[in-house]
Chains A and B, each alone.
Chain A
Amino acid sequence: MTETIDKTALLQFLLRMGDNTLILGHRVSEWCGHSPVLEEDIALANTALDLIGQTQLWLDYAAEVQGEGRTADDLAFLRDAWDFRNVLLVELPNGDFGQTLMRQFLYDAWASIMLGRLQKSADERVREIAEKAAKENAYHVERSADTVVGLGDGTEESHARMQAALDYLYPYVGELFESDATDAAMAEAGIAPDPASLRAEYDAFVGRVMAEATLTIPEKAYVHRGGRSGTMHTEHLGHLLCTMQWLQRAYPGCQW
């Protein structure tokens, strides 16, 4: 299978999947010990654990496809920002709890559709990873949707904060559905769907949840892009990597 398709494209696709979960998992883990209530602290840690677990699977496979003898850890800890392929949405700072949960829902909603399609991938490894991740994601999206609805339709203050979070984050949603040559190659090989093809389902789902949350999706939102292509990340990613990669960079070649 993988011999007949473009390895560069497959690697790009796997990095996009793995970098999304890595960076988002890292962001969510920043909450540990600081959440509004113990039950939420524990739940967020579960989400972060699932995402980092998925990262290991995606990046392991990516390292294998790359064929340079590297590991998932090498890819996570030894690449610089320009080699990261996550969407900008996941590298944005946590903001308040509402912004974190809004970002989580906007990502989860996309992942739930994407992982559903990937379970029919022509690539067995992709299929296996998607199957495991889809189960975890099904819970994440239920929880993040509930929280967005609860806070959107809560008090005046919580509503205002959630609307502000949606207004801030929505311009970063469009990038999830961008298609380029890599996506065309993946779709052609039957490995992954064309991202653009997920949009209608996403809009319907997110529209339902936001209506229930009494929140208004911004009309004609601008689309910030540059993360999944690697051409222009936000300034935030560099700081995140500084923290995350520091030990590996300061003491290269050690066993931890």
Chain B
Amino acid sequence: MYAQMVKSTGKGVKTREEMSEDERAFQDKIDADTKIEPRDWMPEEYRKTLVRQIGQHAHSEIVGQLPEGNWITRAPTLERKMILLAKVQDEAGHGLYLYCAAETLGVSRDDLTEDLLSGKMKYSSIFNYPTLNWADIGAVGWLVDGAAIMNQVPLQRTSYGPYSRAMIRICKEESFHQRQGYDIMMKMAQGSPEQKRMAQDALDRFWYPSLMMFGPSDKDSVHSAQSMAWKIKINTNDELRQKFVDQTVPQAEYLGLSIPDPDLTWNEETGHYDFTEPNWQEFFDVIKGNGPCNTERMNDRTRAWEDGRWVREGLMAHARKKAARTAAE
């Protein structure tokens, strides 16, 4: 998802007997659905895992501005331009809310940013794919935001208070994102032959990367088991992926577009679609930095950060001067 493959302790879930008294009280609170708040006692590994997960989620929102931002200046009507701009602006807002949630755990936004730029922290693999035609903006809203929502809706119930509140705000704002994407897809699918071709091309390129967003199967992962016990992960990757496929296939049919999977079939017995797994080697390549746009995305973020330094420092220097002048009066 926006936070893929987040490592936790790596040791598996402790039994009650193995837990210290503090850890037991902590786990009891989580089991009783009591939220954990910034100054509450928490296991160091819970805190570290959350910083990684929330940080990765925040980075994904910020890097996620880039592929869609790629089309703001080329949006085909004034209204589409405003909608897209408002949406990409929302992503910046979501990144901001999430960085603030991470900051309640005692890390700074600047440190997180530097960890992103140095490659120490990751962001979602999906944003390393290019947006090549206007229908990609539709596909990103429909598929990528659709997949993100699958993950974010349950995360509203996550155990860490500030993260949960950020997710509630994000989900409320995101509800228009997927719909605007599908709205573009409908226009394109019902449009001229060229527009229809753009729509199919976009679906062809974004289908498997969207399925990868949920991360590889984690039913046997010790990290996921610990995260689920702590309620900072609510569903397994496979559960969410299946739910996404089941929801999306009929939407593609309505558009008259074909999903690029010849083996996709409805399974009467399970009540779900059977589908082809994405190419996980490609996923690991992208995560390692070899996706089609990794270099460009990091260059863009680094440039914004470096070129912005004098602005951040200038405004801060002015604020200090002003405060000193006020104090002297």
Interface residues of A (CB under 8 A from B): 22, 26, 29-30, 32-42, 45-46, 48-49, 52-53, 55-56, 59, 72-73, 76-77, 96-98, 147, 149-151, 153-155, 157-159, 161, 243-244, 246-248, 251, 253-256
Contacts and interface: CB of A to CB of B under 8 A. Distances in A.
B315 A251 contact: no
Contacts of A52: 78, 81-82, 85
Contact of B311 (A97, A243, A247, A255): A97
Contact of A34 (B76, B184, B194, B304): B304
Interface string B179-200: 0000010010011101100000
A150 B308 contact: no
Interface string B56-99: 00000010011001001111111111100110110011011001
Interface string B299-326: 0100110011111111111110100000
B310 A155 contact: yes
21 contacts: A22-B78, A29-B72, A32-B69, A33-B62, A35-B304, A36-B307, A37-B312, A38-B95, A49-B85, A73-B78, A97-B308, A151-B315, A154-B314, A154-B316, A157-B314, A243-B74, A244-B73, A247-B134, A251-B195, A255-B190, A256-B77
Contacts of B190: 255
A256 B99 CA distance: 35
A41 B308 CA distance: 11
Contact of B78 (A41, A42, A76, A155): A76
A173 B197 CA distance: 46
B76 A248 contact: yes
A33 B76 contact: no
A204 to B, nearest CB: 23
| Interface size grouping (class) on chain B | 35 or more
A154 B317 contact: yes
Interface SS of chain B? helix
Nearest to A251: B194
A48 B83 CA distance: 12
A256 B69 contact: no
A52 B43 CA distance: 50
B219 to A, nearest CB: 36
A49 B86 contact: yes
A231 to B, nearest CB: 26
A251 B73 contact: no
B311 A158 contact: yes
Interface in B276-320: 300, 303-304, 307-319
B99 A46 contact: no
B314 A38 contact: no
A30 B95 contact: no
A243 B76 CA distance: 10
By CB atoms of chain A within 10 A, which of B72, B190, B191 has the most? B72
A45 B308 contact: no
B312 A41 contact: no
Contact of A36 (B134, B300, B309): B309
Contacts of B319: 150
Contacts of B99: 38
B176 to A, nearest CB: 14
A158 B317 contact: yes
Contacts of B313: 154-155, 157-158
B315 A150 contact: yes
Contacts of B310: 155, 157-158, 161
B201 to A, nearest CB: 14
A55 B75 CA distance: 15
Contacts of A39: 96
A251 B89 contact: no
A36 B308 contact: yes
By CB atoms of chain B within 10 A, which of A22, A29, A248, A253 has the most? A29
Contacts of A150: 314-315, 318-319
B317 A37 contact: no
Contacts of B69: 32-34
By CB atoms of chain B within 10 A, which of A22, A33, A52, A96 has the most? A33
Given A153-B318, A155-B314, A97 B307 contact: yes
A149 B76 CA distance: 36
Given A42-B89, A42-B96, A37 B311 contact: yes
A45 B313 CA distance: 22
A41 B195 contact: no
B46 to A, nearest CB: 26
A30 B80 CA distance: 15
A256 B80 contact: yes
Given A254-B192, A256-B187, A34 B312 contact: no
A248 B311 CA distance: 37
Given A37-B312, A150-B319, A254 B191 contact: yes
B78 A256 contact: no
